[in-house]
Amino acid sequence: MTDESATPYDPREKASKVVAVVDGQKRIVGQSYNRGKNATFGPSESQLTRPTGLQRHLVTGLMPDDQFIDAETTIVAFGSCFANNISTYLNNLGYNVSTKKDNVAYISRMGDGMVNTYAIRQQFEWAWNNVVPKEDLWSGYNAEKFGYDEGVRLRTAELFDAADVFIITLGLSEIWYDEPTGEVFWRAVPKDKYDPERHKFRIANFGESLENLRAIYGLIRAKRPDATIVFTVSPVALAATFRPISCVVANTESKAILRAAIGEMMREKQPSDPKLFYFPSYEIVTEAFHHPFGNDRRHVQPHVLELNMKTFERYFCKTDISDKDLENAYAGALLIDKELGGNDQAAVKARINDQKNADREKYNADLKARGSNKINSLGAQRQAARDKAAAARGKTPDLSKNEKLAAAKAARTAEAKALRASKKEADAETANARKLAKRAERKEARASAAATNGKAA
């Protein structure tokens, strides 16, 4: 039992009180109600802002017992912004984030643009079960139309089939849908496609969100029973609501629905599934800091985002980051947060902006230096070591995971080409049949006209 959750009764205190030791400090609470043996008390400001506050009060009971992501682990991450942030972060460290190396699948091209539970569910059902929506629901960032191309579907299935870890981030509960079919759009309806008679707006309620999460979980477990699943909630707020109420209030409700639905599903599934996790990116941002957002009050400050990434790396990845390193990162982020509430906020914000620009330049330089393929050097080194060991034993090295993926990709590409060729051939046959039919019609028409003229003569 940790000292945060211990609730020993001290008979020296008043009989109506219970003494709890929380993070080394005595707290007196009422004993009118049973609190059990393992009540975990909420932290005070001083307790949360200690270097150990992150581990003790924000991630306790949520993290895996052992780190398991290494350079050979294939990661698929999509949904809202955190999925994109963590995939970029891990990819830059050399981990194998397949959605960062792909530019075909929509989960790669729109990896942070599928923000509601329906949109995420659609991708799994489309890729694995070939469930194709009846209407055009999917559009890009600039409202460009995304169709239901078979090659894209097969590529998405390929990414899902190879995934060892799924990181899925939920963003919002407000949805637009096609009323006749009930189908839900990824985002809002493109302006030039909007039809007020059939395109409607509503909130995806708790029951709907929970059902979608159950479906997503069930699909993954049916196809990838040994994969790890990590759900998160994006802290980025609504830019606007389509309801006639405060956007701030609407955002609180939107996030609450998602967080409650994830919580319910975790209580259902996690007791029998040790590879299902919730990562508290939302809570780290909103609870640990007083000034976590930029001037738009939506997007997370770089130092807050960096702490989220390091926290994920510390607990999920086979990394050199220690508890002490994470404590130092947390303390540093809290210091910047304190400065943002001080008397020289403009200077602090300018420093943060300069660091952001420097990081972006470094990132672009790194991309240019190693090329667009973002070669996984860690994985290459480990595969070379395995091949060398196999050769020493006189064995032919097994195919690496990348080679297996390449073979699977080639097979799927061939399948897609065959389907396209078959469709092209069928279309050509149909077009030829139409031509022959039209010729016959014209010939019959000429014969009929000639017969008519003959009778008239």
Residue 370: what pLDDT? 45
User: How far apart are alpha carbons 169 and 78 in whole angstroms?
Assistant: 7
> Does the structure show a pLDDT above 70 at 368?
no
Residue 361: what pLDDT? 77
Q: What predicted TM-score, i.e. pTM, was given to this entire model?
A: 0.76
| Residue 51 or residue 455, greater confidence | 51
Give the mean pLDDT of the chain.
83
User: Two tokens at 86?
Assistant: 């963590």
Residue 382: what pLDDT? 42
Confidence of residue 344 (pLDDT cuts 50, 70, 90): confident
pLDDT digits (tens, 9 = 90+) for 100-110: 999 999 999 99
User: How far apart are alpha carbons 378 and 72 in whole angstroms?
Assistant: 8
Confidence of residue 376 (pLDDT cuts 50, 70, 90): very low
The fraction of the chain above a pLDDT of 90, given in percent, is 61
Over range 358-382, report the average pLDDT. Answer: 55
- Least confident range from 262-271, 288-297, 411-420: namely 411-420
Over range 128-148, report the average pLDDT. Answer: 94
User: Two tokens at 368?
Assistant: 């240019």
Residue 174: what pLDDT? 97
90 in Cβ contact with 376 (< 8 Å)? no
Confidence of residue 5 (pLDDT cuts 50, 70, 90): very low
> Does the structure show a pLDDT above 90 at 76?
yes
The SS3 of residue 430 is: helix
> Does the structure show a pLDDT above 50 at 417?
yes
CA atoms within 13 A on the CB side of 178: 15
Which candidate, 153, 161, 106, places its Cα nearest to that of 407?
A: 161
User: Two tokens at 405?
Assistant: 């993926």
Q: End-to-end alpha-carbon separation of the chain, Å?
A: 112
Over range 135-146, report the average pLDDT. Answer: 92
Which candidate, 40, 43, 65, 38, places its Cα nearest to that of 53?
A: 43
pLDDT digits (tens, 9 = 90+) for 92-130: 999 999 999 999 999 999 988 999 999 999 999 999 999
Residue 95: what pLDDT? 94
User: How far apart are alpha carbons 289 and 305 in whole angstroms?
Assistant: 11
| Residue 9 or residue 226, greater confidence | 226
User: How far apart are alpha carbons 235 and 266 in whole angstroms?
Assistant: 19
Amino acid occupying residue 150? E
User: Two tokens at 129?
Assistant: 């079960």
Phi, psi of 27 (to 5 degrees): -130, 130
Over range 284-292, report the average pLDDT. Answer: 96
Residue 100: what pLDDT? 93
pLDDT digits (tens, 9 = 90+) for 156-205: 999 999 999 999 999 999 999 999 999 999 989 999 999 999 999 999 99
Residue 136: what pLDDT? 94
Over range 418-431, report the average pLDDT. Answer: 56
Over range 121-143, report the average pLDDT. Answer: 95
- Least confident range from 3-17, 22-36, 53-67: namely 3-17
Classify 24 in phi/psi space as left (phi over 0), alpha (psi -120 to 50) or beta. Answer: left
Residue 232: what pLDDT? 97
243 in Cβ contact with 291 (< 8 Å)? no
> Does the structure show a pLDDT above 80 at 356?
no
User: How far apart are alpha carbons 14 and 408 in whole angstroms?
Assistant: 70
| Residue 370 or residue 258, greater confidence | 258
Confidence of residue 83 (pLDDT cuts 50, 70, 90): confident
